[in-house]
Structure 1
Amino acid sequence: MELKERNILIWLSHIEGISNKDIEKLIKYFNTLDELWTADVRHIKNALGNRGIIIEKIIKNRNREFFSKVFKNIDKYVIECLTIYDENYPEKLRNIYDPPYVIYMKGNKEYLNIPLIAIVGARKCTAYGKWAAYQFSKELAQWGIGTISGLALGIDTNSHKGALDGTGNTVGVLGCGLDQCYPASNERLMSTMIENGCVLSEYPLGMPPLKHHFPARNRIISALSDGVIVIEASEKSGALITVEYALDQGKDIYALPGNINSLQSKGTNRLIRDGAKILLDIEDVIESLKYRYSISKKQIEKSTQEELSPLEKRVYEIIRRNPIHIDLLYNETRLHPWELNPILTILEIKGYIIQISGKTFTVPK
């Protein structure tokens, strides 16, 4: 592998503990980054100041053995690297504050250039939140619009699944190296995403999912998107960090209104109060994208079997047989009120059931 500037940058990103700010200082100090490979220690010290430990690690790993090991590992995991020196580096990222100097990616990088909407929210979300994330991403897919999120549990997971089930594309931004999946329970989902979209990270192979990585990766999610949908978020949710980045980047913010008594809707309701666009229908998002992209809706056949979860199907089949009072429904399903009530809400929103007098449920005629 040649010692050219982009490759030096990839090698540099593998130095343990190095930060974006360190890399920025080195790029500004040297005329070209390949000068770093032969530079005297005093020049590296001049560039990085009191970053003694990082300077030692740069010197220690400034050898062909470590350099070759980095690229052999990248080849082993079939990783594509995009650096800020490359022409095909995403333009949406190039001019943001603190851009990632290297992106590690698996999948098709062309999906970074299609219309993308970020769908973010709580890990510990409600059934309503899961449904909304899944349904909105699925509807976006039907318009040829991809979704981008963080592959976390809850809202992220359901937004990725909705896009895939809508025969669309989805992008995941990880807070760790691409040789691992976090959370591990999403490993199969991640593999499917690589085939029908892509996953990427600014962190090199071997980097664990450290706590401070997740707020940082949110700037990439918002930057690559054409707008951000917040499904559910508490007042201190990490999703609101994505919103802050998105506002700085000039992106539209959409928030799903929720129950004023729900902790998971405190953040979204506050966003609406503070000026975010209220999301009542996916058409609200589609209309804003029509000014920037040529998009049209695909013709996709609707199937009850595909649209409902196993538990939703079970409740629906009971109600479909005969109109049933909610108390009898609790007995027949053996579900607690806090388990059954969100399912009934979802089935009503989807149009599968209606509530008639006296808390009795039936199917529309």
Structure 2
Amino acid sequence: MNEVERVALASWLRLTHVPGVGNGARRALLKAFGLPGAIFAASHAALAAVVGPALAERVQSPEPTAAIEAALAWVEQPGNHLLTLADAEYPPSLLTADDPPLVLYVRGRLELLAQPMFAVVGSRNATAQGERDAEAFAAALGQAGLTVVSGLALGIDAAAHRGGLSTTAGTVAIIGTGADRLYPARNEALAREIVANGVILSEFALGTPALAANFPRRNRLIAGLGLGCLVVEAAPKSGSLITARLAAEAGRDVFAIPGSIHSPLARGCHQLIRQGAKLVESAQDILEELRWSRTPTEKAGTPRVFPSGRAGETAIKANESEEQVLTLLGRTPCDLDTLATRSDLTPAALLAILLPLELVGRVAQLPGGLYQRLD
């Protein structure tokens, strides 16, 4: 970063640190003056004509030098990026969303932010089946070329990220803390894997702790980045329903997986379906609704990496994994547990293989949780 770029970025950071000035007022100033440097060079009278005298005085408050220098030092570290509204790499889907952040703190594969994304969210207190479904749906969406975006929470979010990481489409985690903090602690290993193979993104200044008010704001970015939003499990007052509402308000398609009428974690999904969300039973339902026809990101011969720490993690190629599972499946219908015993793979790893095979018509899912080979 040369000195001109450093000064320009420092002006953007200063604008985000002005106390008591919201994004609406900041955008009004940008519209009036062009770039942050021009805002801070303007007179009090000129600023007051746009945002009023009180906010104008705040804009002219002393520069928070320590915070700005810390951010500029952070961005110099490998894999760290600061994107402003003026940068070409700023995610285009957020530019058209409500209340786009002025600055994004990004760790990881910056190029993923230019890819089409799909949000997968759900309960922190998910069932084992819910986590398997989230991981399998995310893996199938990634196989089809959609980068999975979620919120790095425990439960469904974490499972969705693992599914996305199993494909070359990767995953994007939107967090409600500063990008220099990994939260929750139980997802630290997953977060580090995402930094290496995906993206962690935050709009909050470095050092921002896990504050309850920040997570609903985080949800609007998840909703804004995705072409659509899938809710896997959710209680009636789940934060995932906020994400789904924001996605719908942004013109995105909302999908929900139904569950048992006796399960509290199915009630939020059923509520969404009653309100117009699409009921889905497979990733193919989503792809058909989106009319998605992009070539899958994983081509024959591309290594498939299953989520770290799971049985069956292997370096065999994608097509070899699929042929192995097809051979073990045989010609008679077989349930997932039996296939897991035969293959020494976990059900989640198997679903990540079976769903793409289902998409191309080589496997059919039958009533009762059975799978049958078709070719």
Residue pairs, 1:267-306, within 5 angstroms: 267-291=268-292, 293-295=294-296, 298-299=299-300, 305-306=311-312
Counterparts of 2:311 and 2:69, CA distance in 1: 51
Question: Which residues of 2 match residues 136-155 of structure 1 at below 5 A?
Answer: 136-155=137-156
Per-residue deviation, residues 116-136 of structure 1 (Å, max 9, x unmatched): 211001111112211111111
The residue type equivalent to 1:60 in the other structure is P
Whether the 8 Å contact between 1:6 and 1:85 is mirrored in structure 2 is: no
Pick from 6, 19, 23 the counterpart of residue 20 of structure 1: 23
Alignment pair present for 1:181 and 2:182: yes
> 1:37: how far off?
2.5
2:40 corresponds to which residue? Answer: 37
Task: State the SS of the aligned residue for 1:37.
Answer: helix
Q: 1:297 to 1:62 in 2, by over 3 A?
A: closer
**Structure 1 residue 38 displacement after superposition:** 3.2
The offset of 1:170, in angstroms, is 0.6
Deviations 1:74-106 (A, max 9, x none): 325752111111222221111111111111101
Residues 255 and 67 (structure 1), Cα distance of their counterparts in 2 relative to 1, 3 Å cut: closer
Identity of aligned residues (%): 33
Query: What are the within-5 Å matches in structure 2 for residues 69-218 of structure 1?
Result: 69-76=70-77, 79-166=80-167, 168-218=169-219
Give the drift of 1:238.
Answer: 0.9
Shifted more, 210-219 versus 43-52: the winner is: 43-52
Cross-structure match for 1:59:
61
Where does the alignment leave 5 or more consecutive residues of structure 2 unmatched? 314-335, 343-347, 356-362
Normalising by structure 2, what TM-score?
0.74
Mapped contact 2:89–2:113 kept (Cα < 8 A):
no
Q: Distance in 2 between matches of 1:73 and 1:291?
A: 38
Query: Are the equivalent residues in 2 in contact too, given 1:142–1:298 (CA < 8 A)?
Result: no
Deviation at 1:251, TM superposition (A): 1.2
Match of residue 331 from structure 2: none
* Contact in 1 for aligned 2:177/2:204 (Cα 8 Å): yes
Once the two structures are superposed, the pairs formed by residues 295-334 of structure 1 within 5 Å of their partners are 295=296, 298-299=299-300, 305-306=311-312
Shift of 1:49: 3.6
- Measure, in 2, the Cα distance between the counterparts of 1:39 and 1:296: 49
Decide which structure has the larger Cα Rg and report it: 1
The answer as to whether partners of 2:144 and 2:294 remain within 8 angstroms in 1 is no
> What are the superposed Cα offsets for residues 318-337 of structure 1, whole Å, 9 maximum, x if unpaired?
x969xxxxxxxxxxxxxxxx
Residue 28 of structure 1 deviates from its aligned partner by 3.7
| Contact persistence 2:176–2:210 (CA under 8 A) | yes
Other structure's SS at 2:83 match: strand
How many residue pairs match? The answer is 325
Worse overlay, 260-269 or 292-301: 292-301
Q: Using the TM superposition, give the Cα deviation of residue 9 of structure 1 relative to its aligned residue in structure 2, in angstroms.
A: 1.5
1:154 is displaced (CA, Å) by 0.9
What is the deviation of 1:44? 4.4
Q: Does structure 1 conserve the Cα–Cα contact (< 8 Å) formed by 2:116 and 2:146?
A: yes
State the distance in 1 between where 2:124 and 2:220 align. Answer: 18
C-alpha offsets along residues 135-177 of structure 1, whole Å, 9 cap, x if unaligned?
Answer: 1112223333321000011110111112223455111011111
Q: How far apart in 1 are the matches of 2:117 and 2:90?
A: 16
Q: Structure 1 pair 68/222, CA: closer, same or farther in 2 (3 Å)?
A: same
Match of 1:337 in 2: none
For 1:141 and 1:91, how far apart are their aligned partners in 2?
20
Q: C-alpha distance in 1, partners of 2:254/2:166?
A: 25
> What is the SS of the residue equivalent to 1:60?
coil
Deviation at 1:290, TM superposition (A): 4.9
Residues 258 and 71 of structure 1, relative CA distance in 2, 3 Å threshold: same
**8 Å Cα contact 1:22-1:48 kept in structure 2:** yes
Q: Contact 1:10–1:83 (CA<8 Å) still a contact in 2? A: no
Quick one: distance in 1 between partners of 2:118 and 2:84? Answer: 23
- Residues 212-266 of structure 1, C-alpha deviations (whole Å, 9 max, x = no match): 2111111211221121110011111111111112112221111000111211111
Query: Is the 2:20–2:58 contact (alpha carbons within 8 Å) kept by the matching residues of 1?
Result: no
Partner of 1:324: none
Work out whether 1:242 is the aligned partner of 2:248.
Answer: no
Contact 1:14 1:70 survives alignment (8 Å): no
8 Å CA contact 1:174, 1:217 repeated in 2: yes
Alignment partners' CA distance in 2, 1:248 and 1:355: 35
* Cα gap change, 1:57 to 1:291, in 2 (>3 Å): closer
Tell me the SS of whatever aligns to 1:217. Answer: helix
Gap runs ≥5 in structure 1: 308-314, 322-342, 357-362
Secondary structure at 1:130 match in 2? helix
Contact 1:115 1:293 in 2 (8 A): no
Partner residue in 2 for 1:224: 225
> Equivalents in 1 of 2:38, 2:9: separation in Å?
12
